[in-house]
Amino acid sequence: MQELRDNTERIRTGLDYATKLLTALQDRLAKLDVPPKQLRALPEEERREILKARKEIVRALCDKVIVYADRRIVIEGVLDGSEAAQFEVEGY
């Protein structure tokens, strides 16, 4: 029973972390959601900053992206805190 309780607590902690991380990312995404046409029209420095921020978010959330010949895409996630720690989730 104690092992089940400990596992439940670990899962709950992980879900809390994932929720806070995704909420923090959601705030950043609003500023980065620029359509391709508008992105090309931005000054180069601003465009690079947006693309760099997008890349950091993808690295924080994805461990591996697999693209198959039949156009299926599989994204394997990683929310272990290694890359995601840069988004300053409070309490973790």
- Say how far apart CA 89 and CA 20 lie, in whole Å: 6
Question: What's the pTM?
Answer: 0.53
Cα distances (Å, whole numbers) of residue 62 to 12, 14, 43, 55: 21, 16, 28, 10
Beta bridge partners of 76: 64
User: Any idea where the domains of the chain sit in the sequence?
Assistant: 2-87
Mean pLDDT score of the chain = 78
Count the Cβ atoms, other than its own, within 10 Å of residue 1: 5
Task: Give the pLDDT of residue 47.
Answer: 93
Tokens 């994805």 appear where? 62
The 10s digit of each residue's pLDDT in 36-77 is 899 999 999 999 999 998 888 877 777 777 888 898 877 777
